[in-house]
């Protein structure tokens, strides 16, 4: 049975509340701690694509990117980047991987490695800092992000399971 308009509104509301919660935890709870700031919104964009499919992942990724950009992280490029992460993870889990925690983790590792590689590479090309300094920041950020990737997935999975899947194969 297809989802009604009301069902879709509830589903999107749940996903947007999870996004708000993840952003608050990422920037206002973990941000002041003496640890490297994890990249939880890109992982949440990947979770949206993994759980709901490529079209949902692209739109949800763009929303995650807009929040990340509004919080001062890398500007409007976040919207496009996270939209691509959501879309690619949706396509990947539709055709290559399973739509489960393993598929999410594999897509998250790829997305975060790509993100970190891009940010380190750009700063190396601009000669902002030496490679050792950049890697000293990027490595713990990567590890914290991957350590928190499963709780982010479970938050998204809660919306998928309790409010019905939008994407149908």
CATH number where 93 lies:
1.10.1760
Q: pLDDT value at position 1?
A: 63
Does residue 1 lie in a domain region? no
State the DSSP code for 33.
Answer: S
Q: pLDDT value at position 75?
A: 77
Question: How many domains is the chain built from?
Answer: 1
Q: pLDDT value at position 77?
A: 86
Does residue 169 lie in a domain region? no
Does residue 165 lie in a domain region? no
The string of DSSP letters for 54-121 reads: HHHHHHHHHHHHHHHHHTTSSTTHHHHHHHHHHHHHHHHHHHTS-SSHHHHHHHHHHHHHHHHHHHHH
How far apart, in whole angstroms, are the C-alpha atoms of residue 164 and residue 24? 25
pLDDT < 70 positions in the chain: 1, 165-169
C-beta of residue 12 within 8 angstroms of C-beta of residue 118: no
> Is the pTM here over 0.85, yes or no?
yes
Q: pLDDT value at position 22?
A: 97
Structure tokens at 73: 């992280």
Query: What phi-psi label fits residue 167: left (phi over 0), alpha (psi between -120 and 50 degrees) or beta?
Result: beta
Does residue 76 lie in a domain region? yes
Q: pLDDT value at position 165?
A: 61
Does residue 167 lie in a domain region? no
Does residue 70 lie in a domain region? yes
Does residue 38 lie in a domain region? yes
Instruction: Give the HSE-up count for residue 138: Cα atoms under 13 Å, Cβ half-sphere.
Output: 20
Does residue 128 lie in a domain region? yes
Q: Which domain holds residue 44?
A: 8-160
Query: What is the C-alpha end-to-end distance of the chain, expressed in Å?
Result: 13
């Amino acid at each position: 049975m297809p989802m009604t308009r009301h069902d879709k509104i509830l589903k999107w509301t749940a996903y947007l509340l999870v996004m708000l919660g993840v952003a608050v935890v990422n920037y206002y709870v973990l941000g002041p701690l003496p640890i490297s700031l994890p990249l939880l919104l890109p992982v949440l964009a990947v979770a949206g694509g993994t759980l709901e499919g490529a079209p949902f992942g692209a739109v949800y990724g763009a929303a995650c990117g807009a929040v990340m950009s509004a919080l001062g992280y890398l500007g409007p490029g976040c919207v496009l980047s996270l939209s691509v992460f959501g879309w690619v993870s949706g396509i990947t889990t539709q055709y290559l991987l399973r739509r489960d925690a393993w598929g999410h983790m594999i897509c998250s590792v790829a997305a975060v490695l790509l993100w970190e590689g891009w940010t380190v590479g750009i700063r190396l090309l601009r000669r902002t800092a030496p490679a050792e300094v950049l890697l000293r920041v990027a490595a713990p950020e990567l590890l914290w992000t991957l350590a928190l990737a499963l709780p982010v997935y479970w938050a998204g999975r809660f919306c998928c399971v309790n409010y019905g899947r939008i994407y149908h194969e």
